[in-house]
């Protein structure tokens, strides 16, 4: 009762100020001379701003009654958030947009990156190589071999740096053998993805390649995560179809590296953890019957196949 009287006194004081403001042309004055109560901190930081806003925002010819004000306060305490979802979205959107605008360094890096990709990475290299091969400056096979091997050092270095950061930030076991396999999987997947992109670019022209590339990679992304939650019910034809996606092979290889090779039980603070044993997780997703060597063999085969198709496509375009 004492808390209820305190809330009512808060409402009466604010309501009297609001009525006085609507009935006179003078400046608004709200009296706050009242005895302190046990709800003083709440009234100071929560109730006063809320009630004042609800009353002053609705000033007009008819001021809300005390019952309506109590309903508004009850509704305020029963809601999980003080404002609507749209207001939350708008405030967060403006906050994030302000952070993006103020971070000038990242903006310049992104701008230069996109401009450089559009200017320097274009189909003019194919025309130049075709002309030089036609003039017999060099053959296509030495050029393609040099193109493939010249990119390896930078790609290996960048993959090692990336996998090292991901492995450390993910909290994986500090084991050199496990990290080496993790980095090896990342390197092979990146080489396979590069070969796939070169195959698309060499087989099709710019217009068709820009459309066929995303249309081809989209099913690969879908097949990469298909069936992990209902692995025993996957049909046989889908199991063979998932083998076409090199991304699926990369995901399975990473899971085998992270949860395989006699990894210790995972930390769990609950009374019962069904997946604290990595072997149970591998059996649940039905990849305990495969090996990392088999998955890496498939990825290497795909990489060689993509590179071979890329070479044959370039040869067809140069010597047709």
Q: Name the residue ranges covered by the structural domains of the chain.
A: 83-319
User: pLDDT by residue (tens digit) across 118-167?
Assistant: 666 656 677 788 888 888 888 888 888 898 888 899 999 999 999 999 99
pLDDT band at 111 (very low <50, low <70, confident <90, very high): confident
What integer pLDDT is reported at residue 45 of this predicted model?
A: 45
User: pLDDT by residue (tens digit) across 282-296?
Assistant: 888 888 888 999 999
User: pLDDT by residue (tens digit) across 206-255?
Assistant: 788 888 888 888 889 888 888 887 877 888 888 888 889 999 999 999 99
What integer pLDDT is reported at residue 64 of this predicted model?
A: 55
What integer pLDDT is reported at residue 229 of this predicted model?
A: 78
Residue 190: how many CA atoms within 13 Å on its side-chain side? Answer: 19
User: Does 19 have pLDDT greater than 90?
Assistant: no
Spatial distance between the Cα atoms of 35 and 6, rounded to a whole number of angstroms: 9
CA dist 268 → 164, 171, 173, 258, 278 (Å): 25, 14, 15, 17, 12
């Amino acid at each position: 009762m004492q808390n209820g009287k305190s809330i009512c006194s808060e409402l009466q004081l604010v309501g009297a100020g609001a009525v006085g403001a609507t009935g006179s042309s003078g400046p608004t004055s709200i009296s706050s001379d009242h005895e302190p109560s046990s709800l003083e901190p709440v009234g100071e930081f929560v109730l006063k701003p809320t009630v004042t806003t609800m009353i002053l925002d609705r000033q007009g010819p008819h001021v809300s009654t005390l019952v309506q004000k109590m309903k508004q306060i009850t509704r305020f305490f029963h809601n999980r958030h003080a404002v609507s979802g749209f207001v939350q979205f708008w405030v967060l959107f403006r906050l994030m947009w302000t952070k993006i605008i103020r971070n000038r360094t990242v903006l310049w890096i992104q701008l230069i990156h996109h401009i450089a990709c559009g200017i320097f990475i274009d189909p003019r290299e194919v025309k130049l190589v075709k002309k030089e091969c036609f003039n017999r400056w060099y053959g296509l096979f030495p050029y393609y071999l040099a193109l493939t091997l010249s990119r390896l050092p930078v790609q290996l270095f960048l993959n090692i740096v990336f996998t090292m950061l991901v492995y450390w930030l993910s909290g994986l076991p500090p084991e050199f053998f496990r990290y080496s396999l993790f980095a090896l999987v990342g390197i092979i997947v990146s080489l396979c993805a590069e070969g796939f992109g070169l195959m698309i670019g060499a087989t099709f022209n710019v217009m068709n390649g820009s459309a066929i590339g995303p249309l081809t990679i989209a099913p690969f992304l879908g097949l990469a995560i298909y069936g992990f939650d209902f692995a025993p019910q996957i049909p046989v034809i889908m199991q063979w179809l998932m083998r076409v996606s090199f991304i699926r092979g990369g995901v399975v290889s990473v899971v085998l590296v992270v949860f395989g090779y006699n990894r210790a039980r995972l930390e769990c603070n609950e009374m019962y953890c069904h997946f604290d044993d990595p072997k149970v997780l591998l059996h649940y997703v039905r990849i305990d019957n495969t090996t990392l060597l088999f998955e890496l063999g498939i990825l290497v085969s795909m990489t060689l196949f993509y590179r071979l198709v890329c070479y044959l496509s370039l040869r067809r375009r140069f010597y047709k």
